[in-house]
Structure formats: structure tokens, C-alpha cells
Chains A and B, each alone.
Chain A
Amino acid sequence: MSTRTLAVVSAGLSAPSSTRLLADRLAQAGVAALAARGVDAAVEVVELREHARDLADNLLTGFPNTALRAAVDTVTGADGLIAVTPIFSASYSGLFKTFFDVLDKEALTGKPVLMGATAGTARHSLALEHGMRPLFAYLRAVVAPTAVFAASEDWAGGEATGAALGDRVRRAGGELADLVARRPRAAAADPFVDPTPFETLLTGR
């Protein structure tokens, strides 16, 4: 069995947070679905709350500090990404967006992404499609068709709503596993290892 990594980015602010809870369920579903396809997967979690000040610093200085760099490397080096945010004022939170703002433009190109979001009411659910999906389309990520939204009633509701959330999580995990298992292992091109020869630069490519 080959080992892949799934990075989980959670932008929840409270502890424990329902955003992290959803992120963990999506990660478990992704790992289980990969295992079913004969692929071993490890999960690495990035809690953006811990990097709130690092992210503000990065906006001002133009570089990630040591702590944030580790988080950025975790995400850019992973074979798949699970990204989960609370919905604030009709879209992803500012903290969530800031993390993707400081990544290199190319960092997520071709990377399988599973999206999730939480909010107090199900009326926010399409923010995933109107707000978050265009963000990852811009970054040229490959986004799973099913995005998972969980409102308070999904956690507090009875068996029917709970089962419905579980079904969505399982379906999303399967879609992510298909995308990850199909791709070669993540390896970013490094211009410092393989520089463009100067003759090529001179002739304008």
C-alpha cells in the first residue's frame, strides 16, 4: 500500500468547534474511502486559529514566519486537501480566505480538494457553491462535486438529519478518495533544482 497525505485546514474559532468536528469527520471518511481503494493515508491538521497573528504578519511582511511556513508546507505538499470554514456574513471567514491569499498562486494547481462549511442555519449552505467553489476554481484546484455543509440542526437533530449528514460525508469522502487515488503522488516542480537555462530566457522561450 502506498501512503498519501490529506491536509485538513479548519478555520473554526472556538474550541471545540463544529467546524473542526466536521473537518475530522470528512478526514475520517476520506481515509476510510482511500483504504477501501488500497491506499494508506495520513492526516495532517492545520488549525488556522493558531496562525491568526502569523497570517496578519504575512499580509504585511510578505513572507510566512517559521510557524506558518510549516502549515503552508503541510498543505502544499499534501496529496489532497480538506478545507472547512464557518460561514460569516454570507461567505467563508476572513481568516480562512487569508490563508489561501498567502499561498503561492500555483500551490494548489491540480490538487484534489474537499470543501466543507458550518453555520448556525442551513440558509447559509449555498455559500459553499457561490463563495468557496470559485475560490478553488481560481486556484485551479480539482474540487470534489459534493461539498458538505453542516448547520446546528445537523448536529442537534435526530436520527434523520444525522443520517443525512453522515451520507453526505461518506459520499464526499469517496469522491475525494477517487481524485487522490487517481493522481500521482504530489511533487512540486522546483525552479531552483531545474532552472531555465539562460539561452532559453534570452531567446524569449
Chain B
Amino acid sequence: MQFGVFSVSDITADPTTGRTPREAERIRAIVTIAEKAEEVGLDVFALGEHHNPPFFSSSPTTTLGYIAARTQRLQLSTATTLITTNDPVKIAEDYAMLQHLAGGRVDLMLGRGNTGPVYPWFGQDIRQGIPLAVENYALLHRLWREDVVDWQGRFRTPLQGFTSTPRPLDGVPPFVWHGSIRSPEIAEQAAYYGDGFFHNHIFWPKEHTQRMVALYRQRFEHYGHGSADQAVVGLGGQVFMRRNSQDAVREFRPYFDNAPVYGHGPSLEEFTRETPLTVGSPQQVIDRTLAFRDYVGDYQRQLFLIDHAGLPLKTVLEQLDLLGEEVVPVLRREFAALKPAHVPDAPTHAARVAARGGAQDATVYAPADDVTGRSGQEVQA
């Protein structure tokens, strides 16, 4: 099982000091958080994509490419990549490029985006969210698997004889997770392709997660990818820890009370009861997280949100220390002991290449290049 953190990249005032970080500072902080995640032994760092303030992360592949160069082991992912407003051709190119540079340590989580005004900025319409997600991914899926694509759809200009470059590393496309809070169509999409399903599992009651995962598992089996308990499931979660749980509650409360999503509404205690948010000791986080398995089954990836609502970098790094030292080692051991052998591990590039029978170079050479008039294949031969 993989453990990690995901960030939505918000730039929010710290309610205890009134200070709002500058963009430059917050962008640097994200890189520091990712490096620290690797240092404390976490497996995954995932970054959101947004195109409006208060978020900075409009260009996740740039950030993840930089982080890839500064890390060795860390799996890089997104939370989420907008499959609706991005051109699927550009997603195919950008993430294949990142996959090469990161040595395969890349996967993507696809989401639709719920901010209406963002869609028209990219020539789209939020009311077409589901059809956009369906059509764009159908194209993306082909671009990574077919060297030459002829294609026509409703939402983008047709393609004739198009080759997306670079081709996926070792001939194996990045693994894809589909994320949605409550749209059954997206669970259905993940199941149809045999891809992963990720539920953000923050800010909402667990019943949403439970229904979506149950549907995804059932349809995964229906489409013949394996038994329901072999479907690939990832969950989010939100935690704030101090060794003493009362300290955690006291310190987190002003951030909770003023948070952009739920602030000025329910109390911290009510929201902790109604959603997977856990504020307390490392042991409380361990107990709550192990219980996720009770309603989604054995799953492959657990990501925590720890850096939003204006929490200062120093505090976030302390949270990572607690995760790495006290929480994740226990969770790793406990989840592994519970997992039956036929339930797959979290997907990695190496495992997927091995399952395919080894790496294959997927380069597509031009018939003849503009400079020499000869094909790359001839030159190489």
C-alpha cells in the first residue's frame, strides 16, 4: 500500500497571524513539502490543478518535473488533472514527457473541476462536464496506446494521422486514477477501463465514498478486469496531529474555523464526526485510518491533506515528521497484515512494465526528418 500527501495549492491567510504567504513563498514551500515527504519515507506526492486564485498550481507538470529532479523514489501524481478543460492531446504529451523525465514515477488522477467560470476560460461549458470527461479520456487513452490516431469527436478539432510524442516510457502509459465525489458515471468510467478510482474522502461524509467505491468495484468485476476486491482504490483524508490530542484540537481550531471550504459553519467536533477529518494524536489517526478499510475494503493508496487553510510550512513539516515516524510505519504493517494475497499492490511503473513482459522502446520515428532527409530509424540502423 502507498501512503502520501496531496495538496490543493491554496494560498490562504494564516488566521492566527493574519499573514498571507506570497506566491513565490508558497510555491517554494510545496517543493519543500514534497522533498520532505520523500525524506520521511512517504511514497506519493500529488498536486492539484487550478486556474484561479487563491490557488497557484496552474501548471502541475512544471512543478512535478522540478520535484522529480530533486527526489529519487517519490511517486508523483496529481489531485486532480482536469480532463474537462485541458486538451487531451496536451495531457498525453505533457504527462508522457514527465513520465520520461521522472523515470516512470508518475501517475495521474483525473477530475472534472467544479468551478463553473473556469470552463469558458478554456472554451468549455461545465454543463458538459461528464460528456467532456468521457470523450477526452477516450482520446487520451488511445493517444498513449496507438502510435497513429485518426479521431473525431464533439469537443475538439479532429485528428488525422496524429502521433503524440514522446511515446510512453517503455511502451507503458502512466497509470490513471479517476476521481469523483458522487458522480456514478465516473466510477463507471474507471471500471470500464480497469483504471484506478480515487475518492477525495475529505469534506464529505463517508457514505459518498462508500457508495462510489462499491459501484466502482462491482462494475470493475462486470467489465472483466478481475474480482471486485481486486479493483484499485485510493482514498484521501485530512489530519492534524500533535502528540497530545488536546494540543492538536487547540492548535487546529482557528484554522478549521476560518478554512475556505467549511469555515464559519459546523464546529470542529461536528465536522470530525460527520467527515473523515481527524484531529488528535498519531494513535487516533492510525485508528481512524485503519477503519477506512471497513467501508471500502482493502485499498491501494492513502493520501492525506495536511497543508491547506493557511497552516505555516513549519507546522506542515512537523505533520510530515509525525506521519513518517509514527503513523505510516504502523499503517503499513497493519494494512499489509490484513490484505489477502490476491488483492493487488498499488500500481507502479516497474510492476506494470514487468506485467507487460518487460520494457519496449516505443519511439515512433518520422519517415524522413526535415534536416537530413533520412528517417531516424535508418540513421539508428
Contact = CB atoms under 8 A, between A and B. Distances in A.
A136 to B, nearest CB: 24
A52 to B, nearest CB: 13
Contact of A61 (B154, B219, B265): B265
A201 B271 contact: no
A195 B271 CA distance: 30
Given A65-B270, A65-B274, A202-B134, A192 B265 contact: no
B184 A198 contact: no
Sort A-B residue pairs by CB-CB distance and give the 6 closest, nearest first.
A60-B265, A198-B192, A57-B266, A57-B265, A191-B184, A201-B134
User: For this complex, into which size category does the number of interface residues on chain A fall?
Assistant: 10 to 19
A155 B219 CA distance: 59
Interface in A191-205: 191-192, 195-198, 201-202, 204
B266 A61 contact: yes
Interface string A22-65: 00000000000000000000000000000000001101111101
10 contacts: A57-B265, A57-B266, A60-B262, A60-B263, A65-B270, A196-B185, A198-B189, A198-B192, A201-B130, A201-B189
Interface centre among B189, B205, B208 (most CB of A within 10 A): B205
Contact of B205 (A59, A63, A201): A63
A66 interface: yes
Interface of A: 56-57, 59-63, 65-66, 191-192, 195-198, 201-202, 204
Contacts of B261: 61
A195 B264 contact: no
Nearest to B214: A192
Given A63-B204, A65-B274, A195 B184 contact: yes
A63 B215 CA distance: 20
B89 to A, nearest CB: 19
A57 B205 CA distance: 13
A192 B188 contact: no
B175 interface: no
Contact of A56 (B185, B189, B263, B265): B265
B265 A197 contact: no
Contacts of B208: 63
A195 B263 CA distance: 35
Given A195-B215, A196-B188, A198-B192, A65 B266 contact: yes
Given A57-B266, A61-B265, A61-B271, 16 more contacts: A59-B265, A60-B264, A60-B266, A61-B261, A61-B266, A63-B205, A63-B208, A66-B205, A192-B184, A196-B184, A196-B188, A197-B188, A198-B134, A198-B188, A201-B131, A201-B188
